[in-house]
Chains A and B, each alone.
Chain A
Amino acid sequence: MQWEIVIGLEVHAQLSTSSKIFSGASNAFGAEPNTQASAVDLALPGVLPVLNRGAVERAIKFGLAVGAHITPRSVFSRKNYFYPDLPKGYQISQFDLPIIGQGSLTIQVPTTAAGQTYKKIVRLTRAHLEEDAGKSLHEDFQGMTGIDLNRAGTPLLEIVSEPDMRSATEAVSYAKMLHTLVRWIGICDGNMQEGSFRCDANVSVRRPGAELGTRREIKNLNSFRFLQQAIEYEAQWQIDTLENGGTIHQATVLFDSDKGETRAMRSKEDAHDYRYFPDPDLLPLAIDNEWIEQVRDTLPELPLSKQARYVADLGLSSYDADTLTSSREMADFFEATLNEAPNEAKLCANWLMGDVSASLNREDRDITQCPITPRQLGGVLKRIADGTISNAAAKEVFKLLWSEGGNPDAIIETKGLKQMSDVGAMEAMVDEIISANPTQVAEYRSGKEKVFGYFVGLAMKASKGKANPAQMNEILKRKLAD
């Protein structure tokens, strides 16, 4: 009998502000321990939180990007629990009235068939602002743990999805889309190694159509691969447990990436009672339409609308459109190149997804580190389009631009890569070839069509490969005919 896997994701995105959410300390990653922990971050006696406008703006941006309701009057609450990396003994978060209400995200899920995907809409329950905790370092303090509070107070947007995903692959596609989006709208650097984008997965299994099963929450998955592995392992574990007559108990688990297993967190064993209540230090947060509209004006065109536009107006395939909008930088590069070579969308797409991507991968760089500018690439494509150079010549120009830079037309000129388009000269060559090869001419005229290739070879050789192949074929055919 079948099992259905049900997955909901909670993603913590660190917001790319310069200062912390409730203090004026730097939000930069990687400083010496506790050098960016201010009196407020350390919860010294008597200090108070003051909310960072930049964090609120980023939350509004996200809300607009996922078409969510933005709460006109949201409330900050205290989530009370003791942990050494939580200086106040409570986390300032949002509970009843989060800043962002229901929204949705459209994702493309890959299938087993290469290049094939299907669309799926994942509903977002809410997104709320909260503060990050510090870090516990377990290494080399013989039996002790070291606490670094630089991260304490880093602004987080916790994005909660409905349990709409039905496979690890769907969950990963959703996480990737979210990851693309937060970087696209510039609210999070998306650096997963640094923990800027962390996923918690709520996994349960059930018989199709049955009630939701008991879920277990896998905490802190900081790579898409681990997300995939953890969900697959956890789901299988739950299925096996149930099929062996066991029951699932709600729990918080960690993924051991070495063993590829999930295990229950010992520290979370005792049932929590967070005693949420509105933070008396923070008044209600008011967001009026004027502010929302100001933020809307700063929002870039979103991936979905670009994809639609590329297909409808530029005639690209939806696969090309998806690929070109995989990141805002890629899309910007594409559009800038298209400006140089208007009406050559398909050619641009092919080159970006072909030679450019290949060369970038080879030197593992991303599009922002591409040594060729859109202007240069566009220059090359323009010359392919107007027949000045052949594709082969274009690849040569591309290589030179990549290694030495420069101006495409100048390179074409100095390297003499122009295609020959002087009909008279080409006819002269053909006449010579015909008179020099009577036997083959006779064969051809007697109907041995395949000899034609032999003449093409000679002709291209004579033109040192510069002849426009189409033109040359036309001349050969004509002359051989009479």
Chain B
Amino acid sequence: MSLSINDVFKVAQLARLEMTEQAAQTAHVQLLNIFGLIAEMQAVDTSGIEPMSHAQDITQRLREDVITEHNQREIFQAAAPHIKKGLYLVPQVIE
């Protein structure tokens, strides 16, 4: 399954990255090289092997259901690009 230029555009769209035709060409070449490097992995027989998602084989610790965070809106919104009436503003969302 060799990666096509269309895959590059599709993935850029999935990742919300604006991609010019020329940038896509460059990316395509580099991604093909990288997937060439990765290909080595796919020959390996891994039947019966449990996938490893975490570095340790332990289970999750839980938090007690208590409120520990309080309003810091002013501090957090100091970093916001566009605010109105305490809301984060973005271009119209179409549903």
Residues of A whose CB lies within 8 Å of any CB of B are: 17-19, 23-26, 32-40, 42, 44, 50-56, 73, 82-84, 136-138, 141, 143-149, 254, 265-267, 273, 275, 278, 280, 282-286
- B45 at interface, CB cutoff 8 A: no
A278 & B71 in contact (Cβ 8 Å cutoff):
no
CA distance A34 to B71 in the complex (A): 8
Q: Which residue of A lies closest to B64 (CB)?
A: A53
CA distance A26 to B86 in the complex (A): 17
Pairs A-B, 8 closest by C-beta atoms:
A54-B65, A24-B68, A146-B87, A38-B69, A286-B59, A53-B62, A147-B88, A33-B86
Residues of B in contact, count (CB < 8 Å): 35
For window 1-21 of B, CB contacts with A under 8 Å fall at: 14, 16
A19 & B68 in contact (Cβ 8 Å cutoff):
yes
CA distance A54 to B66 in the complex (A): 9
Q: Give the secondary structure class of B's interface.
A: loop
B59 & A275 in contact (Cβ 8 Å cutoff):
no
Pairs across A and B, CB under 8 Å, 12 listed: A18-B67, A19-B63, A34-B87, A38-B72, A39-B69, A56-B62, A143-B91, A145-B92, A145-B93, A147-B88, A282-B60, A283-B61
Kindly supply a per-residue 1/0 record for chain B positions 26-58, scoring 1 wherever the CB is within 8 Å of any chain A CB and 0 otherwise: 000000000000000000000000000110101
B95 & A44 in contact (Cβ 8 Å cutoff):
no
A147 & B89 in contact (Cβ 8 Å cutoff):
yes
Residues of B within 8 A of A52 (CB): 62-63, 65
B90 & A144 in contact (Cβ 8 Å cutoff):
yes
Given A280-B53, A284-B59, are A17 and B65 also a contact pair (CB < 8 Å)?
Answer: yes
Residues of B within 8 A of A266 (CB): 94-95
A34 & B94 in contact (Cβ 8 Å cutoff):
no
B70 CB → nearest A CB, Å: 8
Residues of B within 8 A of A149 (CB): 88
- A34 partner, pick from B69, B77, B90, B92, beta carbons under 8 A: B77
Given A19-B65, A19-B67, A37-B76, are A84 and B59 also a contact pair (CB < 8 Å)?
Answer: no
B94 & A278 in contact (Cβ 8 Å cutoff):
no
**Beyond the given A24-B68, A34-B86, could you list 15 further A-B residue pairs with CB under 8 A, ordered by the A residue number?**
A25-B69, A26-B69, A34-B77, A34-B88, A38-B69, A50-B61, A53-B64, A137-B87, A141-B89, A143-B91, A146-B85, A148-B86, A149-B88, A284-B60, A286-B60
A24 & B69 in contact (Cβ 8 Å cutoff):
yes
B66 & A18 in contact (Cβ 8 Å cutoff):
yes
B37 CB → nearest A CB, Å: 21
Residues of A within 8 A of B90 (CB): 84, 144-145, 147
Residues of A within 8 A of B63 (CB): 19, 24, 50-53
A88 CB → nearest B CB, Å: 14
B92 & A144 in contact (Cβ 8 Å cutoff):
yes
- B89 partner, pick from A23, A40, A146, A265, beta carbons under 8 A: A146
